[in-house]
Amino acid sequence: VLQQLKEAEIGAYYADKTKEYYAYKTKKVYTPSGKFEIYSKTLEEHGYDPLPKYVEPAQSPVSTPELAKQFPLILISGARTQEFTHTQMRHIPGLRSARPEPFAEMHPATAGRYGLADGDWAKLSTRNGSLRVRVKTTPDMLPGIVSLPHGWAQANVNLLTDMQDRDPITGYPDFKALLCRVEPIIPYQE
């Protein structure tokens, strides 16, 4: 393991045991049947659909077309970067050099449509607020989607999320899909 760490550019993940496959054969599954269930009698007993189904996010071009006129892009959040663990390790110079600033990933066509290019500073806004981020263009993102990784104190994506729209079963807020817009900004001098 020590040799692997010496050879790794940014470190390596460590687990105290190996991945266990087929755990269901030796461990209890905590469902009424004791098996993996797709059809949930528990949900059915509480008045919910017992089968998984797609539900349009509370904010989307489909569910909130008027809001989409003001915020035409879809913001996804919560992506992790390998260098950091949530908000931790950002003070370590070797790790921080790989990801020195908060960034938002988007397709080059999306950035271009709003007058942005790779490396530009942008104002990323939702109806709940705005953040200053560096644009990182990548063809890996679908056009019209903006991804903001979590863990940056100066660009806390949770400040943009909407706590009003919650999942009816879990009560969890809609952290992963919001409507947003981006616009170029001139960076402030530090």
Instruction: Read off the pLDDT band of 86 (50, 70, 90).
Output: low
pLDDT, averaged across the chain: 82
- What is the predicted pLDDT for the residue at 10? 59
Q: pTM for the full model?
A: 0.74
**CA pair distance 178, 176, nearest whole angstrom:** 7
Compare 186 and 8 and report the one with higher pLDDT: 186
- Looking at residues 92-99, what average pLDDT do you find? 60
174 and 162 Cβ atoms separated by less than 8 Å:
yes
- Looking at residues 9-30, what average pLDDT do you find? 71
Residue 105, φ and ψ in degrees, nearest 5:
-90, 140
Compare 96 and 52 and report the one with higher pLDDT: 52
Q: Is it the case that residue 155 has pLDDT exceeding 90?
A: no
Q: Which residues pair with 135 in a beta bridge?
A: 104
Instruction: Read off the pLDDT band of 45 (50, 70, 90).
Output: very high
Residue range 102-144, pLDDT digits in tens: 889 999 999 999 999 999 999 999 999 999 999 999 999 999 9
Residue range 156-181, pLDDT digits in tens: 788 888 878 888 888 888 777 899 99
